[in-house]
């Protein structure tokens, strides 16, 4: 049986922290446009720029979750529109395997999303972030079925 994270605490102060990996050509430019256009979107997401979504090593996603991200998303150019020809197809294929793996590791599938946002789709980015943030708020803080640390004070040679 798989242990999944469930809504356990109702903390009013709590705000989800979302890490987004955005490709330099489309989505990051789209985020720039959202800024220039003065679009409002929830401040819960922090973007990390990558040259192409193809650069997003699944390790990065795991690392972000391990470091406390409540959700992670990857956003790139539309399929067929990649500035590196087909990087986003490679991401899409990886994403599916990673999503299945994360599900089995106990991470709700809504916490890991893939989207395609072009440089002109600031509005789409805003809508995506708004819906993702509210959906993560519904899920609540991530409760990774982590290794509870053993009593380190017992370690005699520390």
Partner 1 sequence: MVNITINDQEYDIEEGKTILEAAQAMGLEIPTLCYHKALSPYGACRLCTVEIELNGRTMYQASCQYLVEEGMNIQTESERVVNGRKKMIELLLARAPEAEDILDLAYKYGVKDTRFLKEFDDVCILCGLCIRVCHDRMGFKAIEFINRGIERKVSLPFEDFHEVCRTCGSCSTYCPTGAKAVQLENLTHHTPRPILSEFDQGLATRPAVYTPFPQAVPKIPVIDRNNCIHFQTGECKICQDVCEPDAINYEQEDEIVEREVGAIVVTTGFDPFDPNRLPQYGYGKYPNVITSLEFERISSASGPTEGEIIFPGVTEIKSAAILHCIGSRDENTNRYCSRLCCMNALKAANLIRDKLPDSHVYEFYIDIRAAGKGYEEYYQKMLRSDIRIIRGKVAEITNIPDLPEDEGRLTVVAEDTLLGAILRVPVDLVILMVGIEPKKDARDLAHILHLPCTEEGFYNEKHPKLAPTETVIEGIHVAGACQFPKDVPDSVAQGESAAAAVLSKIARGEYITEPTKAEIVDDHCSGCRNCIGLCPYLAISFDEEEEIAKIDSALCQGCGVCVASCPSGAIIHRGYTDKQIFAEIEGVLER
Partner 2 sequence: MTEKLKLAFYWAASCGGCEVAILDIDEKVLDVVAIADIVFWPVAIDIKYNDVRAMDDKSIDVTFFNGSIRTEENAELARLLRAKSKTLVAFGSCSCYGGVIGLGNLSSKEELLHRAYITSDSTDNPEQIKPQLHYKEVHIPDVLPANYALDQVVDVDYYLPGCPPKDTLVWSAIEAIASGNLPAKGAVLAPNLTVCHDCPREKHDERTIKEFKRVYNFQPDETKCLLEQGLICMGPATRSGCDASCVSVNMPCRGCMGPTDQVFDQGAKMISVLGGLIDSDDPEEVKEIVSTIVDPVGTLYYFGVSKSLIKQSGVKRR
List interacting residues with partner 1 (CB under 8 A): 17, 19, 25, 46, 48, 50-52, 54-60, 63-64, 67-69, 78, 80-87, 90, 94, 119
According to the binding rule CB under 8 A, does residue 101 interact with partner 2? Answer: yes
Q: What is the DSSP letter of 67?
A: T
Instruction: Return the range that interacts with partner 2 (CB under 8 A); candidates 20-28, 34-42, 98-106, 122-130.
Output: 98-106
User: Phi then psi for 76, rounded to 5 degrees?
Assistant: -135, -170
Residue 47 is classified by DSSP as E
- Angstrom distance (rounded) from CA 156 to CA 151: 11
Q: From the list partner 2, partner 1, none, which binds 50 (C-beta under 5 to 8 Å, kind-based)? A: partner 1
Binder of residue 2, out of partner 1, partner 2, none (CB less than 5 to 8 A by kind) = partner 2
Q: Contact between 36 and partner 2 (CB under 8 A)?
A: no
- Looking at the Cβ atoms of 43 and 145, the one nearer to partner 2 is 145
Q: Which is nearer to partner 2, 50 or 107 (CB)?
A: 107
Contact 107, 120 (CB under 8 A): no
Q: Which of 110, 108, 112, 104 is nearest to 74 (CA)?
A: 112
If binding is defined by CB under 8 A, does position 21 make contact with partner 2?
Answer: no
| Cβ nearer to partner 1, comparing 98 with 155 | 98
Q: Which does 82 bind (CB under 5 to 8 A by kind): partner 2, partner 1, none?
A: partner 1
27 and 76 Cβ atoms separated by less than 8 Å: yes
Minimal CA–CA distance to 74: which of 113, 42, 103?
A: 113
State how far the Cα of 120 lies from the Cα of 45, in Å rounded to an integer: 19
- Sign for the pseudo-dihedral over CA of 41, 132, 61, 82: negative
Interaction site with partner 2 (CB under 8 A): 1-3, 57-59, 61-63, 65-68, 79, 86, 89-98, 100-102, 104-107, 144-150, 154-158
């Amino acid at each position: 049986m798989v242990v999944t994270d469930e809504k356990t605490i109702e903390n009013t102060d709590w705000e989800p922290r979302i890490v987004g990996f955005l490709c330099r050509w489309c989505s990051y430019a789209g985020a720039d446009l959202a800024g220039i256009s003065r679009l409002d979107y929830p401040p819960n997401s922090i973007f990390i720029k990558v040259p192409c979504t193809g650069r997003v090593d699944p390790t990065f996603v795991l690392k972000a979750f391990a470091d406390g991200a409540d959700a992670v998303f990857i956003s790139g150019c539309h399929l067929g529109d990649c500035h590196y020809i087909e990087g986003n197809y490679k991401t899409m294929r990886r994403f599916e395997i990673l999503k299945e793996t994360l599900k089995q590791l106990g991470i709700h599938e809504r916490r890991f999303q893939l989207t395609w946002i072009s440089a002109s789709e600031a509005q789409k980015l805003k809508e995506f972030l708004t819906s993702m943030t509210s959906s993560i708020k519904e899920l609540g803080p991530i409760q990774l079925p982590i290794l509870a640390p053993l009593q380190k004070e017992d370690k005699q040679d520390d």
